[in-house]
Amino acid sequence: MRLLPLLALPFLVTAAMATDGNNDRGPGLTGERQGDTTTYRAMDFDKVAFGLAGDVDVRVGPAWSVRATGPAAAFANLRIVRENGTLEIAHRYRNQDTNRDLERQVHFVVTLPRIAGAMLGGSGRMTVDRVRGSAFEATVGGSGSLSLGTIEVDRATVAIGGSGGITARGSARSLAVSVGGSGSLQAPDLRAASARVSTAGSGIVRATVDGPATVSVVGSGQIDLGRNSRVVRSRA
């Protein structure tokens, strides 16, 4: 069984972590800085992609808002754009050396009316307070961590590459999970009516499924879907 092509994880894994090419990706949105806070005017997006070593809090609210705090020097290699309904926060220059200690002091707060996708690349941290709607996609590449608050969706899709991890709670009618490497989904309080789960490597998946679950394990991965799941193992 193949749920998600981990080599084709959206945006962050390829764009924010690319090493070939030395081109300027462009300046992106111009921030308005007052004190240690920079504000960006962006709207009409329902997905957030984050590729920095810092952290971002994503909050569901009545209107779009993007602001960041941190030392001015930490913003020299940042690029914030809105493309195809996604707010992308990543590096401007792909091959420019970045002061990670300085970048870790950068904190973003993003507000939007509804979130349909969260993508995290590198070693950063992302928190999402709540997710509601028909479908939601969560992607982690690298060693970053993504924390999802209450989820209430019809379809939840999770893809994890590298050693990154996702925590979540809530409910979904269907859950699809693909883990490569040593990454993990730690979500025993996330309940689903059905699931498809695949691990390759030493990844870990923990969730609660009250119904049928198709699973595939390649390597030493571990899958725990609770005692009410009806597990069918597919061929790798």
- Max CA pair span of the chain: 57
The number of folded domains in the chain is: 1
Identify the CATH number of the domain in which residue 78 sits. Answer: 2.160.20.120
- Does residue 31 fall inside a structural domain? no
The answer to the question of residue 10 being in a domain is: yes
Convert the pLDDT of each residue in 62-114 to its tens digit. Answer: 999 999 999 999 999 999 999 999 999 999 988 777 788 999 999 999 999 99
Strand pairing class (55-60; 32-34): unpaired
* Cβ contact 70:107 at 8 Å: yes
163 in a domain, yes or no? Answer: yes
Averaged pLDDT for residues 146-163? 98
Whether 29 maps to a domain, the answer reads: no
Whether residue 92 contacts residue 24, with contact meaning beta carbons closer than 8 Å, is answered with yes
> By residue range, what is the domain housing residue 166?
6-23+37-233
pLDDT surpasses 70 at 1: no
Residue 1 covered by a domain:
no
Single-letter code of the amino acid located at 67: R
Alpha-carbon distances of 224 from 32, 184, 215, rounded to whole Å: 47, 11, 10
pLDDT digit string, tens, across residues 177-202? 999 999 999 999 999 999 999 999 99
Q: Is residue 30 part of a domain?
A: no
For the whole prediction, is pTM greater than 0.85?
Answer: yes
pLDDT at 96: 73
Look up residue 199 and give its two tokens: 């691990």
Position 97 in a domain:
yes
Q: Is residue 76 situated within a structural domain?
A: yes
Q: Output DSSP code: residue 44.
A: S
